[in-house]
Amino acid sequence: MPRVMTDYVREAYVMEPGNVRVNFDKQLMTTVHSLDIFDEQLMMVNAIHQPLMIMEVKFEQFLPFNIRYLLQHVSNQRSAISKYAICREESKNTMISSARRSSATTKPPATG
C-alpha cells in the first residue's frame, strides 16, 4: 500500500528509432497526512527544494547517438533516483517538523 502520493509536471518525448522515451519531470510534490485524492484539504509540499528537473530516459532496442551524447556531455548530474523515495522521505521530514512545532506551542508555560 502506498504511503505517499507524488505529483509532478512532465514533458514527454518519444523517438521512434529504438523506441526511446525521454521525460523531463519538474515541480515534484508529495502529500502530507492523507492519501485521499478527493480530500479537499489535501496538503501538498515540495519534495525537492531546488529548481531541479529530472530527466528520465528509457529505451528498448538501442539508445541513439544524439541522446547518448547529451547524457554523456550535456547533462549536469547523473544519478539513479526514485521520485517515490524522494517524496516518502520529504513527507516523513515534514510530519516530524510539524509535530515538533506543534509540541513546542502546546507546552504549558513554565512557572517560577
Q: Annotate the chain with three-state secondary structure.
A: CCCCCEEEEEEEEEECCCCEEEEEEEEEEEEECCCCCCCCCCEEEECCCCCCCEEEEECCCCCCHHHHHHHHHHCCCCCCCCHHHHHHHHHHHHHHHHHHHHHHHCCCCCCC
What residue ranges do the domains of the chain occupy?
6-103
Cβ distance 46 to 28 under 8 Å? Answer: yes
For the four alpha carbons of 91, 97, 100 and 102, in that order, the dihedral sign comes to negative
Q: What's the pLDDT at 107?
A: 58
pTM across the whole model:
0.72
Q: What's the pLDDT at 106?
A: 58
CB atoms within 10 A of CB 30: 26
Q: What's the pLDDT at 8?
A: 96
Mean pLDDT, 10 residues at a time, over the chain (112 residues)?
A: 88 92 94 85 88 90 88 76 89 78 64 60
Q: Where are the alpha helices (DSSP H) in the chain?
A: 65-69, 83-105
